[in-house]
Copies of this chain bind each other. A is one copy, B any other.
């Protein structure tokens, strides 16, 4: 019931609950914290506490109405309208993400691809022509583009991020293997694929 500000850890789990509920059979109209917990590999109390931040939407003795809960989570996450997203860096990963259907499925529109390499300009992926990074500023100005995905090499990432921030982008998803510095007010998430394997390596190394 503590409306207003949701703990980071909870925010990071809300999309997971959405995913779990979307994978349930359509006949399942209600869902309990225990079911969700089992699907998400969490503790039921954790699920209940998370959902309580959205307000009291459960019914005691019954559970949560699945569709209603999905809607509440989408509302809270700001997923009612599709955000427009651009991808900067059309290498292996960037072009794969451009073709990846998961972003659309999750409610995002990939509306533009950019690259610094003149050879890539004009290539088409997923119905979008690759445009030069020099066009970023004018393309973003006055457009509703809110988020950017960086899939450039590490060395280019910071410069691209600076450009994006200058253009008014305030949400960045960075796949380049480099930490990016952004001013306050800009949210930047870093997903490093090799890092994930290195973390696994630690646990792999100390078993068996």
Instruction: Write the residues of chain A forming the contact surface with B, with a CB cutoff of 8 angstroms.
Output: 6, 11-12, 14-16, 18-20, 23, 39-41, 76-79, 83, 85, 92-93, 95-97, 99-100, 102-103, 105-108, 146-147, 149, 154, 170-173, 177-179, 181, 185, 187, 189, 191-208
Contact = CB atoms under 8 A, between A and B. Distances in A.
A177 B19 contact: yes
Nearest to A201: B78
26 contacts: A12-B199, A19-B177, A19-B178, A19-B179, A19-B192, A19-B195, A77-B201, A77-B205, A78-B204, A83-B201, A93-B96, A102-B177, A103-B193, A103-B197, A105-B194, A106-B195, A171-B200, A171-B201, A171-B203, A172-B200, A185-B207, A187-B200, A187-B203, A187-B204, A191-B193, A191-B196
Given A79-B201, A93-B100, A204-B146, A15 B191 contact: no
A208 B172 CA distance: 15
Contacts of A39: 179
Interface centre among A189, A191, A205, A207 (most CB of B within 10 A): A205
A103 B93 CA distance: 13
B196 A173 contact: yes
Contacts of A106: 194-195, 197-198
Nearest to A93: B96
Nearest to A11: B202
Nearest to A73: B198
Contacts of A102: 177, 193-194
A204 B18 CA distance: 19
Given A197-B108, A204-B187, A179 B40 contact: yes
